[in-house]
């Protein structure tokens, strides 16, 4: 609850700081949120009586009247700056801690658990089950052990299934796990991950849940390494993070792997994401009758 | 979490230290530098963008409250037309002629965003609805009997506007009137 109130406070607070900034730098006494459409934006205006005081401040000598007039404004600005720093730190720790947990899982898999995971995936495949499901279940168990409350295969809406979804904390996060064994599978798997993530997130509005981050976890069982961006990017209202977990045999690793890595920049992944989004919005062609 | 978090956290502390340590009210001039420093770090910039998104959503919510699901200006427009028809020629009509274009432009500026004044405790009118109401009050002085025809609707709008502004200020948690009202059990 406290975090919720803080969040609301911040929206106004940041705009208040920005209104002061734009008044000092350009003489424009307002700041507003960046409107995505023509309607609706939140604007904070420095009122006329305060604008004069603030613009007088850079002028060097301040009269006693200006100083006393400025005092409550400066107090407010200081309080807002403190709240902003507090909230930025909270957001920073939340994002970094989620990412940190996944990075730790990556290290655990790659350093200590490669063979077992590879065997699990191989056995599942031989038993005509999805290899990615057993790997995903490993990840879910790990997240649970780290104190999170993940649900695997959570049904959201009529047919969307989230690979891993933690509804216990809002805004929540979502994990889509995929695996590959050869170069040809990489692109389709990433597209499938985006498609499933978008389907799931599309079912969220109005459900009482919110998701602000998606983690795409790609297990490499064999084939070329995939180089994924280390910093997240924003798209479709989510912040997307990418983690490659290498569980390939040692003989296929490092210097012994002669295959050229497949590299994805943040921009190329964003383009794929947009393409997938467009494909989803197209009507499904009717199936041909046998 | 890694060492980068400690570094970023320390950076935030050092950026905040300067505006906080200055006794002189002229410390307000350090705000642009503070914001620019925070924005220049991509790992903070993405969170600032999130806060702007939240402001955007909040603006939408408040705007729909302010507009009362569509058409708050209809009442003002009716009163304005009626005044224009009934005012006697001479100074009152001249005054009406001077003020009416402002009111009409505000009426048709439907994309004007929800506005919160800063400092929040100031009594100055900002924003489309607040300015409209102030202008209407001034016109009311020209022809009180005519405007009384619309009094009940006008009062509703004034009350609604006050409520929306108050709710917005409640969210800022910094307006002294909010604390005073909370203390008084409002």
In a shared domain, residues B110 and B142: yes
Is A103 inside any structural domain?
no
Contact of B182 with chain A, judged by CB distance below 8 Å, is answered with no
Judge whether residue B138 has pLDDT over 80: no
Spell out which residues of chain A touch residue B120, defining contact as CB-CB under 8 Å.
Answer: 76
Contact yes or no for B51 and A87 at CB 8 A:
yes
Q: Where are the alpha helices (DSSP H) in B27-124?
A: 31-39, 42-67, 73-86, 91-108
pTM above 0.90, yes or no: no
Which of B6, B7, B25, B170 has the most A C-beta neighbours within 10 Å, making it the best mutation to test the interface with A? Answer: B25
pLDDT for A1 equals 31
Going from the C-alpha of A25 to that of each of A30, A81, A114, B137, the distances in angstroms are 12, 18, 56, 35
3-state secondary structure of A198: helix
- Cβ(A224)–Cβ(A260) below 8 Å: yes
The pLDDT-based confidence of B1 (bands split at 50, 70, 90) is very low
Q: What's the rounded Cα separation, in Å, for the pair B25 and B16? A: 15
Contact yes or no for B46 and A232 at CB 8 A:
yes
CA nearest to A109, candidates A184, A241, A218:
A218
In a shared domain, residues A66 and A137: no
Contact yes or no for B111 and A43 at CB 8 A:
no
Judge whether residue B179 has pLDDT over 50: no
Q: What's the rounded Cα separation, in Å, for the pair A210 and A225? A: 33
In a shared domain, residues A129 and A213: yes
Phi, psi (deg, nearest 5) at residue A238:
-125, 155
Spell out which residues of chain A touch residue B42, defining contact as CB-CB under 8 Å.
Answer: 231
Predicted complex ipTM exceeds 0.85? no
In the predicted model, what is the mean pLDDT of chain B?
Answer: 72
Which of A19, A29, A46, A47 has the most B C-beta neighbours within 10 Å, making it the best mutation to test the interface with B? Answer: A47
Quick: pLDDT tens for A20-68: 999 999 999 989 887 666 655 788 889 888 998 898 877 667 788 888 8
pLDDT for A123 equals 94
Q: Which of A30, A53, A87 is the last residue of a domain?
A: A87
In a shared domain, residues B58 and B73: no
- Report, as ranges of residue numbers, the positions in chain A whose pLDDT lies below 50: 1-8, 290
- Cβ(A243)–Cβ(A102) below 8 Å: yes
CA nearest to A156, candidates A209, A215, A194:
A209
The pLDDT-based confidence of B169 (bands split at 50, 70, 90) is low
Is A101 inside any structural domain?
no
In a shared domain, residues A205 and A61: no
In a shared domain, residues A212 and A252: yes
Give the one of A33, A50, A70 whose C-beta lies nearest to B56's C-beta: A33
Contact of B7 with chain A, judged by CB distance below 8 Å, is answered with no
Judge whether residue B3 has pLDDT over 60: no
Q: Which of A53, A87, A121 is the last residue of a domain?
A: A87
Range of the domain at B12: 3-63
What percentage of chain B exceeds 90 in pLDDT? 5
Contact of A262 with chain B, judged by CB distance below 8 Å, is answered with no
Which of B28, B48, B124 has the most A C-beta neighbours within 10 Å, making it the best mutation to test the interface with A? Answer: B28
Q: What's the rounded Cα separation, in Å, for the pair A37 and B40? A: 26
- Cβ(A39)–Cβ(B57) below 8 Å: no
- Cβ(A78)–Cβ(A11) below 8 Å: no
In a shared domain, residues B120 and B156: yes
Is A96 inside any structural domain?
no
Judge whether residue B175 has pLDDT over 60: no
In a shared domain, residues B101 and B115: yes
In a shared domain, residues B84 and B108: yes
In a shared domain, residues B145 and B83: yes
Q: What's the rounded Cα separation, in Å, for the pair B63 and B115? A: 9
The pLDDT-based confidence of B149 (bands split at 50, 70, 90) is very low
Judge whether residue B151 has pLDDT over 60: no
Is A220 inside any structural domain?
yes
Contact yes or no for B122 and A11 at CB 8 A:
no
Q: Where are the alpha helices (DSSP H) in A27-113?
A: 48-56, 64-112
In a shared domain, residues A153 and A64: no
pLDDT for A39 equals 59
Which of A:94-153 have CB within 8 Å of B? 96-97, 100, 103
In a shared domain, residues B85 and B159: yes
- Read out DSSP for A73-85? HHHHHHHHHHHHH
**Helix or strand holding residue A37 (H, E):** none
Is A118 inside any structural domain?
yes
A181 vs B116: which has the higher pLDDT: A181
Here the CATH number for the domain that contains residue A273 is: 3.40.91
Number of domains in chain A: 2
Contact yes or no for B124 and A47 at CB 8 A:
yes
In a shared domain, residues A123 and A243: yes
In a shared domain, residues A80 and A120: no
- Going across the sheet that includes A42-46, the strands are A30-32, A42-46, B114-118
Judge whether residue B134 has pLDDT over 90: no
pLDDT for B178 equals 45
Q: Which of B13, B45, B63 is the last residue of a domain?
A: B63
Is A120 inside any structural domain?
yes
Contact of A65 with chain B, judged by CB distance below 8 Å, is answered with no
Which of B:82-101 have CB within 8 Å of A? none
pLDDT for B35 equals 94
Q: Which of B31, B63, B95 is the last residue of a domain?
A: B63
Contact yes or no for A92 and B46 at CB 8 A:
no
Contact yes or no for A234 and B15 at CB 8 A:
no
Range of the domain at A142: 113-281
Judge whether residue B147 has pLDDT over 60: no
In the predicted model, what is the mean pLDDT of chain A?
Answer: 83
Number of domains in chain B: 2
Within 10 angstroms of residue A162's Cβ, the number of other Cβ atoms is 28
The pLDDT-based confidence of B72 (bands split at 50, 70, 90) is low
Nearest CA in chain B to A62: B26
Give the one of A21, A44, A71 whose C-beta lies nearest to B32's C-beta: A21
Give the one of A7, A49, A76 whose C-beta lies nearest to B54's C-beta: A7
Nearest CA in chain B to A84: B48
Contact yes or no for B113 and A25 at CB 8 A:
no
> Strand A211-220 and strand A238-246: pairing?
parallel
């Amino acid at each position: 609850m406290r975090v919720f109130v803080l969040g609301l406070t911040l929206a106004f607070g940041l705009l208040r700081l920005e209104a002061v900034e734009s008044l000092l730098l350009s003489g424009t006494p307002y700041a507003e949120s960046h409107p995505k459409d023509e309607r609706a934006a939140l604007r904070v205006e420095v009122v006329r009586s305060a604008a004069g005081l603030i613009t007088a401040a850079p002028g060097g000598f301040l009269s006693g009247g200006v100083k006393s007039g400025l005092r409550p404004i400066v107090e407010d600005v200081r309080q807002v700056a403190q709240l902003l720093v507090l909230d930025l730190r909270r957001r920073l720790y939340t994002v970094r801690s989620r990412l940190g947990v996944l990075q730790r899982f990556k290290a655990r898999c790659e350093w200590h658990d490669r063979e077992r995971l590879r065997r699990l995936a191989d056995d599942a495949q031989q038993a005509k089950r999805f290899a990615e499901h057993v790997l995903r279940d490993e990840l879910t168990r790990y997240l649970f052990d780290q104190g999170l409350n993940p649900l695997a295969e959570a049904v959201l809406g009529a047919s969307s299934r989230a690979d891993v979804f933690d509804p216990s904390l809002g805004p929540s996060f979502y994990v889509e796990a995929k695996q590959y064994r050869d170069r040809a599978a990489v692109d389709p798997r990433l597209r499938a991950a985006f498609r499933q993530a978008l389907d799931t997130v599309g079912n969220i509005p109005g459900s009482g849940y919110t998701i602000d981050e998606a983690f795409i976890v790609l297990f490499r069982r064999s084939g070329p390494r995939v180089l994924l961006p280390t910093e997240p990017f924003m798209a479709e209202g989510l912040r997307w993070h990418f983690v490659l977990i290498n569980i390939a045999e040692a003989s296929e690793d490092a210097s012994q792997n002669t295959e050229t890595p497949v590299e994805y920049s943040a921009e190329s992944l964003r383009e794929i994401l947009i393409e997938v989004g467009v494909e989803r919005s197209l009507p499904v062609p009717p199936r041909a009758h046998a | 979490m890694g060492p980068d978090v400690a570094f970023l956290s320390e950076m935030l502390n050092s950026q905040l230290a300067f505006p906080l340590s200055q006794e002189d009210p002229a410390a307000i001039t350090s705000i642009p530098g503070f914001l620019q420093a925070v924005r220049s770090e991509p790992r903070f910039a993405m969170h600032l963008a999130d806060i702007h998104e939240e402001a955007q959503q909040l603006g939408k919510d408040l705007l729909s409250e302010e507009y009362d699901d569509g058409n708050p200006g209809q009442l003002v427009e009716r009163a304005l037309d009626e005044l224009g028809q009934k005012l006697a020629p001479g100074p009152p009509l001249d005054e009406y002629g001077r003020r009416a274009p402002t009111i009409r432009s505000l009426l048709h500026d439907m994309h004007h965003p929800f506005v919160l004044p800063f400092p929040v405790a100031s009594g100055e009118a900002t924003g489309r609805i607040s300015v409209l109401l102030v202008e209407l009050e001034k016109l009311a002085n020209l022809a009180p009997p005519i405007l009384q025809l619309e009094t009940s609707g006008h009062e509703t709008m004034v009350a609604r506007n006050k409520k929306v502004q108050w709710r917005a200020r409640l969210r800022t948690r910094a307006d002294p009137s909010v604390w005073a009202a909370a203390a008084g059990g409002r």
